[in-house]
Amino acid sequence: MCELFVFSPFNFIIESEVYVSHFAISMSRYDDISNQLSTLNIEEEENEAFVFEGEEEEVINKYELCLIGRFLTERSINVRAMKTKLADVWRPALGINIKEIQQGIFLFQFYHREDMKWVLRGGPWSFDSAMLILAEVPEGEEPLNVPLWYTNIWIHIFDLPTGLMTEGVGKQLGDFFGEFIEYDHKNNTSTWREFMRIKVRLDVRKSLKRKKKIIKRNGEEIIVSCKYERLGDFCFSCGILSHTERYCSKFLNQDTEVLQKEWGSWLRAPNRRNAGLVRSK
């Protein structure tokens, strides 16, 4: 007995739709797997080290003859007057270009290394009683990334016994008042020396140190005091160089009648004739 096959368009449509649905799901899964493999392949390629076989371009320090600087003040600086004054005082043999690259940050471009070295050695410099912090720009560094927190300054140490006027003692005291840099041997020419003269590196974020107690070998205690050459404006309430009392939080937050000023103008050393303010051509 023969089976009767009845063709139905409805059954064909349903079966077709099921087939298409399974096909779509299979293609979707295939695409997902393909995308995952593709991502893995990209990550492998990205993580594979690439070795340069050619010659690297020589790094040129375009700031080799530049100094970066800022003034320790919260007041506005007359930029035009500052440029004129410093150019007149420094008198660089081959000229200088001073540019404000960011508010309060200046780039000093020299055209001869000796001019730049003379300015660095002769500091600290000031304009309108505001000390200028200067720093060289290291090779490969951007000027605005150079920290401007340190300055080199000569200090006088008073009340030292004659036997302690040595460079070794000067190094120890220099590392207390700042970071020792140099001992002035020329200050030892006279028979009687009023003070020891040393150069130190100061962190301008810290209060100025005024004195230090030392003990001699025989147990005798001595207090030595300190004065700073060419000191600009600083706060008499907290001893910080970057501001005066008008902008000092310690001064503003306390009763001014009770607050004792532990710093003062007595920390300024007398100006020396060879302080570098004027240079002969």
32-36, 55-59, 244-248: the lowest-pLDDT one: 55-59
For the cut 90, the answer to whether the pLDDT of residue 46 exceeds it is: no
pLDDT of residue 275: 45
pLDDT of residue 124: 94
CB-CB contact of 151 with 123 (8 Å): yes
Per-residue pLDDT band for 136 (boundaries 50, 70, 90) equals very high
Please state the rounded mean pLDDT for residues 143-169: 94
Show me where the domains of the chain are located: 66-145, 150-267
- Residues 186, 166: Cα–Cα separation, whole Å: 12
pLDDT of residue 106: 97
CB-CB contact of 196 with 212 (8 Å): no
pLDDT of residue 62: 85
Which residue in this structure is represented by tokens 């840099």? 181
pLDDT of residue 194: 86
Q: In this predicted model, what pLDDT tens digit does every residue of 271-281 receive, in sequence order? A: 765 443 433 33
pLDDT of residue 51: 64
Q: Is 81 left (phi over 0), alpha (psi -120 to 50) or beta?
A: alpha
DSSP secondary structure string for all residues of 37-84: HHHHHHHHHHHS-----SPPPPP--TTTTEEEEEES-SSPP-HHHHHH
Give the distance from CA 227 to its chain's centroid.
25
Q: What is the mean pLDDT of the chain?
A: 81
pLDDT of residue 2: 47
Q: In this predicted model, what pLDDT tens digit does every residue of 82-98 receive, in sequence order? A: 999 999 999 999 999 99
Q: In this predicted model, what pLDDT tens digit does every residue of 204-223 receive, in sequence order? A: 999 999 999 998 888 889 99
Q: In this predicted model, what pLDDT tens digit does every residue of 101-132 receive, in sequence order? A: 999 999 999 999 999 999 999 999 999 999 99
Q: What's domain 66-145's architecture?
A: 2-Layer Sandwich (3.30)
Higher pLDDT, 251 or 6: 251
Per-residue CA distances from 167 to 172, 180, 244 (Å): 9, 11, 34
Taken in order 143, 145, 146, 147, the sign of the CA dihedral is positive
pTM of the model: 0.72
